[in-house]
Amino acid sequence: MTKRILALLLAVCMLAGVMAGCNKTNADPSKPDSSDSNNGGGTQKPDSQTSDATKQTSAKYVYTTDYVNLTLELAEDESLNYLNTLCVSGNYLYVTADISKGVPGGTEGGDDDMGIAPLDDGFAANAEGGDMTLVGGEEAPIEMPVVGDEVASQPADTETDGEEPATEEPAEEPAPDEPTIEPSDPGEWYTSETRLYQVDLATGVATQFAGYTTPEIPEGYQGYTNINQILTGADGTIWIYDTMNCYHYNLPEDFDPETENEWDYYEDGPSTYRLQLYGADGTLKQTIDLSPENGDESGNSKNFAFVDGKSQLYFYDWNTNEVTIENADGKILKTLEVGDNGGYISNFCGKAALQSYTDTGTELRLIDPDTFELSDPIETPANAWTFLASYDEAYDYYFLLNGDVYGYKQKEQVSEQVVSWMDCDINSDNIWGTYALEDGRILGILNESGNDMMLDGAISGVARAEAATNAASGYSLVFLTKTDAANVKPKTVLTMACMNVPWELKSRIVEFNKLSEDYRIIIKDYSQYATNDDYYAGLTKLNTEIISGQIPDIFYTANMPITQYAGQGILEDLRPYIDKDSELSGDALMTHVLDAASMDGHLYQAFSAFSIQTAIGLTKIVGDYDEWTLANIKDAMTKLQPEATVFDVYYTRDSMLQNCLSRSYSSFVNRVTGECNFDGQDFRDLLEFINSFPVDYDYSNYDYNKNPGGAESMKRGLQLLMDAGVFSLDSFLYTLASFGGEEVSYVGYPSTTGNNNVFSLYDGLCISSTCADKDGAWQFVRTLFTKEYQEENSYYGLPTNAAVFNEQIKNLMTIEYQTDADGNPLLDENGEKLVNPKASYWFDENNQYTIDVMTQEQLDQIMALYSSTELVSQNDEEVMNIIKGETEAYFAGSKTLDDTVRLIQNRVSLYVAEQK
User: pLDDT of 358-398, one tens digit each?
Assistant: 766 677 889 999 999 999 988 787 777 788 888 888 999 99
CA dist 196 and 212 (Å) reads 7
900 Cβ contact list (under 8 Å, min separation 6)? 687, 886, 887, 889, 890
Exposed, middle or buried, 267 (CB in 10 Å: 0-12/13-18/19+)?
exposed
DSSP calls for 458-473: S--HHHHHHHHHHGGG
What 3-state class would DSSP assign to 777? helix
Share of the chain above pLDDT 90, in %: 44
pLDDT at 568 over 80: yes
Confidence class for position 231, pLDDT limits 50, 70, 90: confident
Parallel, antiparallel, or unpaired for β 758-761 and 871-872?
A: parallel
- Residues 904 and 896: beta-carbon distance below 8 Å: no
CA dist 905 and 916 (Å) reads 17
- Residues 660 and 666: beta-carbon distance below 8 Å: no
User: What Å distances lie between residue 35 and 29, 44, 223, 522, 648, CA to CA?
Assistant: 8, 9, 50, 14, 48
Confidence class for position 190, pLDDT limits 50, 70, 90: low
CA dist 434 and 486 (Å) reads 26
Closest C-alpha among 16, 37, 88 to residue 528: 37
In this prediction, residues 825-848 reach a mean pLDDT of 87
In this prediction, residues 565-588 reach a mean pLDDT of 96
- Residues 41 and 24: beta-carbon distance below 8 Å: no
**Domain extent listing, the chain:** 67-137+190-452, 491-608+762-800, 624-760+808-915
For domain 624-760+808-915, give the fold: D-Maltodextrin-Binding Protein; domain 2 (3.40.190)
Round the average pLDDT of the chain to a whole number and report it: 79
H/E element, 658: helix 653-668
DSSP calls for 520-563: EEEEEEGGGG--SS-TTHHHHHHHHHHHTT---SEEE-TT--HH
- Residues 804 and 846: beta-carbon distance below 8 Å: no
In this prediction, residues 824-839 reach a mean pLDDT of 92
Sequence-ordered alpha helix ranges (H) in 669-755: 681-690, 710-715, 729-738
What 3-state class would DSSP assign to 59? coil
Identify the pLDDT of residue 140.
Answer: 31
CA dist 708 and 722 (Å) reads 12
CATH match of 67-137+190-452 with 2.120.10:
yes
List for the chain the helix, strand, coil content (%; round to 5).
Answer: 25, 30, 45
User: What Å distances lie between residue 26 and 31, 285, 551, 589, 882, CA to CA?
Assistant: 10, 49, 21, 46, 39
What 3-state class would DSSP assign to 729? helix
DSSP calls for 832-844: PBPB--SEEEEEE
What 3-state class would DSSP assign to 895? coil
Give me the CATH code for the 491-608+762-800 domain, please.
3.40.190.10
What 3-state class would DSSP assign to 197? strand
Q: How does pLDDT run across 410-449, given as a tens digit for each residue?
A: 888 888 889 989 888 898 888 988 999 989 999 999 987 5
Q: Is the pTM of this model over 0.95?
A: no
> b or e along 460-491 (b: 16 or more beta carbons within 10 Å of the residue's beta carbon)?
eeeeeeebeebbbbbbbbbbbebeebeebebb
Identify the pLDDT of residue 182.
Answer: 39
Identify the DSSP state of 109: -
Identify the pLDDT of residue 102.
Answer: 66
Parallel, antiparallel, or unpaired for β 386-389 and 397-401?
A: antiparallel
Q: Do domains 67-137+190-452 and 624-760+808-915 have the same CATH topology?
A: no
- Residues 499 and 539: beta-carbon distance below 8 Å: yes
